[in-house]
Chain A
Amino acid sequence: MLPRIADSLSFLYLDVVRVQQDDTGVCAEITSERHGTETVYLPTAALSCVLLGPGTSITARALSTLARHGTTVLVVGSGGVRCYAATLPDSLTTSWLERQVRAWADDGQRLGVARAMYEKRFGSGTVPADASLFQLRGFEGARVKAHYQLLAKQYKIGRFRRNYDPESWEDQDPVNLALSAANTCLYGIVHAAIVALGCSPALGYVHSGNQQAFVYDVADLYKAQLTIPLAFSLHASTNPEAQARRSFRDGLRLFKLLPRIVADIQQLLDPAGDYEIEDPDEQLVDLWDPIAGAIPGGVNHGGGDMRDERPHPWHP
C-alpha cells in the first residue's frame, strides 16, 4: 500500500517489457541489446505501485497476482508523465477517499483544506485564518505574478505573461510552451499518486467541475518550485516542449516526487493523523452506523433487540 511508504517500495516503472506469471512468480522479460532477453522477478508483495509505460504487455494472471497483493497498477505515458488508466486493487482501503469526501462535502472544511493548500504553497502564517476563497484567489494571483516577475528579471526576458490559449499555441513564447509541457508531466504524476491512494481525482477543493479538479489542486503545490523555474530556464530553447519534458524526467528525480505528493495529500486531508493503516489483508468490510461509527462487518447483526419491526421488503 502506498500510504506505508516507510516499509514498502514506492514505485516501479517498467517499459518495453512483457510482464507475466510463471510457476514461481511475476516476472518481467526485458530484452536489451547488451544482455539479450533477461528475466527479472518482481517483488510483488513489497511494491505499492507499478507504472506500466509504453511497449508493455501484461498477462491476466500477472495482473491478478498484483491485484491480490494490493499493488496498484497504472498505465502511464513515457516516463510516467501521463496517467491513462489504473487498476485499483479490491483490498485498497477507502479510508482516504472517505476523508476526501468528508472534507469536500462540508463547505467549512472544504475552505479549511483550500486554506491549508495556500499555506503549503506560500508558507505557514501567510493566510489569515478567516480568509475567504475570494481573498485566497487574490493572494495567489499576486504571489504568482511576483514570482513570474522575479524569474523574468533573473533571466532578463523583459515582460512575461502566462498564456495557455490552445488557439494561439504555435506563436507562444518558449517559456509558456515549456511551462505547459512541464505542467502536463506534473499532472500525470499527481494523478498517479491520487489514484494509488484510492482518492478521487475529480473532487477538488479549489478547482471544481472537472474530472481532474483534485489533480490541479495538488499540482499547484509544486509548480512554483518545479515547473515554473524549469520553464524560465528554457527561455532560449528552440524546442521548449520536448526539452521541458526531458528535463522534468531526468533532472527532477521523478519517483522521489511521488512519495512526497502522497505525504502532502495525507497531511492535507488528515492534518492530525499518523498515517498508519491496518494491513489490507486483515481488514474486513465495516458497516456504517451514524451513531456508533464504523462497526465490524462479517458479523450477523440480526440477533438481539431490534426495535425496527417493519417487514423487510424482500420477505414480507
Chain B
Amino acid sequence: MASMIMISATAVPDHLRGALSRWLLEVTPQLYVGTVSARVRDELWTSVSASIADGLAVLAYPDANEQGFSLRTAGTRRRHPLDFDGLTLIGFRKESQESMKPL
C-alpha cells in the first residue's frame, strides 16, 4: 500500500535530485514529498544513502508505532534521532548559542 513519505536532502549530487524528482514533488528547496509504495520508498532511500557523499538526508514515513512514524537518516548531521525506550526524540548539540548562563 502506498503511503506518504517526506525526504529532506541537503547538498546531495544532482543526479540524486533527478531520481527523487521523478517520484516526489520538491515542495520547497531540498524537501521532497510524495505518496509511494514501501518498495519504492526503500529503493529511493537506498540510492539516497548510497550517494550521500558530504551531504545529509532524512526520511520520515508512517509506521505502526506509538508515534505513528519512523525516521531514517544518512550523512553526518548535527541532529540525530535518540531512542527513549521506544519513543524517538531528536538530540543535538547547541554550539554557539547558549541560552542559559553557566552556573
Scoring A residues 11 to 26 as 1 if CB is less than 8 Å from chain B, else 0, what string do you get?
A: 1111000001011000
B93/A39 in contact, CB under 8 A: yes
In the bound complex, CA of A35 to CA of B81 (Å): 12
- Size of the A side of the interface (Cβ < 8 Å), in residues, is 23
B87/A30 in contact, CB under 8 A: no
B100/A9 in contact, CB under 8 A: no
B27 CB within 8 Å of chain A: no
A36/B93 in contact, CB under 8 A: yes
In the bound complex, CA of A23 to CA of B94 (Å): 13
Task: List B contacts of A42 (CB < 8 A).
Answer: 89
| Minimum CB–CB distance for B81 against chain A, Å | 10
A35/B93 in contact, CB under 8 A: yes
B85/A254 in contact, CB under 8 A: yes
B96 CB within 8 Å of chain A: no
- If the complex has contacts A9-B67, A13-B84, are A40 and B90 also in contact, measured as CB distance less than 8 A? yes
In the bound complex, CA of A9 to CA of B66 (Å): 7
B86 CB within 8 Å of chain A: yes
**Which of B82, B84, B93, B100 counts the most A-chain CB atoms under 10 A from its CB?**
B84
A41 CB within 8 Å of chain B: yes
B94/A39 in contact, CB under 8 A: yes
Taking CB atoms and an 8 Å cut-off, the chain B residues in 6-47 that contact chain A are none
| Minimum CB–CB distance for B97 against chain A, Å | 9
A10 CB within 8 Å of chain B: yes
Task: List A contacts of B66 (CB < 8 A).
Answer: 9-10
Task: List A contacts of B87 (CB < 8 A).
Answer: 9, 11-12
A12/B84 in contact, CB under 8 A: yes
Task: List B contacts of A43 (CB < 8 A).
Answer: 89
In the bound complex, CA of A255 to CA of B94 (Å): 30
A14/B84 in contact, CB under 8 A: yes
Scoring B residues 77 to 103 as 1 if CB is less than 8 Å from chain A, else 0, what string do you get?
A: 000001011110111111000011000
In the bound complex, CA of A299 to CA of B90 (Å): 45
- If the complex has contacts A9-B66, A23-B99, are A39 and B84 also in contact, measured as CB distance less than 8 A? no
Task: List B contacts of A254 (CB < 8 A).
Answer: 85
A35/B91 in contact, CB under 8 A: yes
- If the complex has contacts A9-B87, A12-B84, are A20 and B100 also in contact, measured as CB distance less than 8 A? yes
| Residue from B85, B93, B99 in contact with A38 in the complex, judged by beta carbons closer than 8 Å | B93
A255/B99 in contact, CB under 8 A: no
In the bound complex, CA of A27 to CA of B94 (Å): 12
Binding site for B on A (CB under 8 A): 9-14, 20, 22-23, 30, 35-43, 253-256
Pairs A–B under 8 Å by Cβ, sample size 20: A9-B66, A9-B87, A10-B66, A11-B85, A11-B87, A12-B84, A12-B87, A13-B84, A13-B85, A14-B84, A23-B99, A30-B91, A37-B93, A38-B92, A38-B93, A39-B91, A40-B89, A40-B91, A40-B92, A255-B86
Binding site for A on B (CB under 8 A): 66-67, 82, 84-87, 89-94, 99-100
Besides A22-B100, A23-B99, 13 new A-B residue pairs in contact (Cβ under 8 A), listed by A number: A9-B66, A11-B87, A12-B84, A20-B100, A30-B91, A35-B91, A38-B91, A38-B93, A40-B91, A41-B90, A42-B89, A43-B89, A254-B85
